[in-house]
Structure 1
């Protein structure tokens, strides 16, 4: 049966979100194929069906496991959820899978966030099991913000590059400009506290300029 306009809009949204997730994984160094990055809306429909339904829940079909290009033990699960708001039972379900498969890193993509109880449960699990779980709302992944013309290039510095920078300019992390972990670009790349990011800006007058920021959690 053909999808109505509402279903067509949902399919288009989920296709765009999934594409952004693949781009995010690729930009973090995880293995993503060119076909996955270039998948068209029609190819997405052919793969997942013409419309989401109660018999075939579309969002959970989008779950994926990505492996890092440099380390095949570095794996990241990406979860999509059919329920609008994630509760404690769902948190327990996906963290149990992480334990079973010995995966410490996950991204959860939700329609409307987590319940208060689920947030507390997830925080407790992060602290006790050292899980690295990132949360994005679907609306935040509709577009890839790093591709906007006004967003400068962000380049994560290796530990060696960071130490060389500190030595060359006699820098101390506590005196550097800050990039918060809550910044949309920092969240896209998954930057962690203590890392240093090179930000490259282009302008018609100044040409190419670079600045450096240290990643920090909000106070």
Structure 2
């Protein structure tokens, strides 16, 4: 397999995981995007898509809140710096899209990381994933139990039921791969459903920090 073919395969797998991730977060995603084959991917985006990653731009909205939208950017630059982060931020602001995922080929430069941090201190929020993190869907791994991020009302009911404060729950880091997949933010609670040795299921909860 040539280098170009390997790059196309990586992008195909990365995009598929992104689509699954968006759907798992509640965004509207067509089945055709989830089930797309590698050949269909090439037919749609071309043999040179590995050089023109910008063509993979995704914009999606949540089914229950059409105004809640997200962009997914695939910068063509191997090393993403401040100008690219600012260009993405500008597009988000112009289109009133407050959330974004930046899929980069390599780790961001230090100034670019700072630019993302500054952006995230405002009304806009940008997450950064490296392509290598998205080559497979971590939630489909046999050793990863089912995770469900609770809505605010569900979290409130949970704390009331067990008469605990959120900070008394076991913790999960927002940098944890599964928490990152679901886009968890500090303060959110996730329900983890595991299979017991008796084939029954049991639930535990984690507080994102």
Give the TM-score range, shorter chain: over 0.9
| Pair 1:85 & 2:79 matched | yes
Match 1:21 to one of 18, 22, 31: 18
Aligned residues: 209
Give the deviation of 1:89 after TM superposition.
1.1
Which of 157, 160, 163 does residue 164 from structure 1 map onto? 157
Deviation at residue 130 of structure 1 after TM alignment: 2.3
Shift of 1:85: 1.1
**Which whole-Å CA distance do the structure 2 matches of 1:87 and 1:160 have between them?**
39
Shift of 1:206: 5.7
What's the TM-score once normalised by structure 1's chain length? 0.91
**Alignment gaps of 5+ in structure 2:** none
| Corresponding residue for residue 59 of structure 2 | 65
Structure 1: gaps spanning 5 or more residues: none
Query: Aligned match of 1:124 in 118, 121, 126?
Result: 118
For residues 178 and 101 of structure 2, what CA distance do their matches in structure 1 show? 15
**Which structure has the bigger radius of gyration?**
1
Per the alignment, residue 138 of structure 1 pairs with 131
- TM (norm. structure 2) is 0.95
Structure 1 residue 125, shift from structure 2 partner: 2.4
Provide the C-alpha distance between the structure 2 equivalents of 1:52 and 1:74, rounded to a whole number of angstroms: 28
* 20-29 or 129-138, larger mean C-alpha shift: 129-138
Q: Deviations over 1:24-74 (max 9, x none)?
A: 000000000011110000100111112347xxx331111110111111110
Inter-partner Cα distance in structure 2 for 1:158 and 1:81? 32
SS of match in other structure, 1:95: helix
Q: Which residue of 2 aligns with 1:10?
A: 7
Alpha-carbon RMSD = 1.4
